[in-house]
Structure 1
């Protein structure tokens, strides 16, 4: 009477089974992701993207702003992150503390290992290489870094802007 894929209707007095969870558009590219928890490129593979390597060496605030906007899922723009990075660089020289926080955030989001050493030490000693690796990782995960978070969301949704809403609760 019922196929193996259908659930029979609930019997009298038994609560109905829960419906499947609603899927919402997240804006995260659906392209192939590194499922083994490893970085897609090495720390010193900067030569694989020469244009990003040059931008990061001469104007790291641009690369950092792009990385931070994606890691923050668009809550703050690339320009704001880049400006904060530049202010910290010019006033304190400790911009590496700010940038290492975003490496840690990105590692947690994508379950990446903390290698070859601690995030803070890596950014203090080899900041340009670390930011180039983060940039390449986000590209590998399907982000077009020049579009920013919101541009990637639009691209993922094929130009259709999805309204932000939460599931409605039943009320008495």
Structure 2
């Protein structure tokens, strides 16, 4: 928590490449929609927006929220909204590995298959509770951290690109 601003800081993901053992509890339960009714309504009405935002943060900016949301929507439309949960399940697993979260109350694929909107909302709340401003994306969150004097740790800053004479 940033004491001067009174805002939480985005928590760095563990630096261990395989992630720590899953020992950390989720900050909210799967059915705790009363904690953030606005994101729950948004997820129920248009899950591609909420999913896209959380996917951009989990991917550390390597994919945009628009691209992830569009792919989620495309899979949903093509499969009659029967199998988009398979795509979103991978992000729950990735997020759990990044933050050492427990696989509860069921395995990731079961949570997404049985209660997709609740799973997406829980993941969204988890990232928000870790200090991310969800609607501004990864890069803006990193800029915000730097402006507030926290800088990004090695685990949260996107890698710089350097390829034989080419820099980015």
TM-score by length of 2: 0.75
Shift of 1:159: 7.6
Q: CA RMSD in A?
A: 2.6
Counterpart of 2:27 in structure 1 is 40
1:41-92 alpha-carbon deviations (Å, 9 max, x no partner): 0100011101000000000000100110000000010000000000000001
Q: CA deviation at 1:29?
A: 2.3
**CA distance change for structure 1 residues 143 and 47 in 2, over 3 Å: closer, same or farther?**
same
Please state if 1:65 is matched with 2:52: yes
The yes-or-no answer on 1:137 pairing with 2:126 is: yes
Task: State the number of aligned residues.
Answer: 137
Unaligned ranges ≥5, structure 1: 1-27, 167-172
Q: Residue 29 of structure 1 aligns with which residue? A: 10
Q: Counterparts of 2:33 and 2:45 in 1: how far apart (Å)?
A: 14
Aligned residue for 1:79? 66
Give me the TM-score of the superposition, normalised by structure 1: 0.73
1:104-126 Cα offsets, whole Å, 9 max, x none, are 00000000000000101110110
Structure 1 runs, 4 residues or longer, greater than 3 Å off: 159-166
Output the CA distance in 1 between the equivalents of 2:39 and 2:10.
21
| Larger-Rg structure | 1
Question: Which structure 2 residue ranges, 5 or more long, are not aligned?
Answer: 1-8, 13-22, 152-156, 163-168
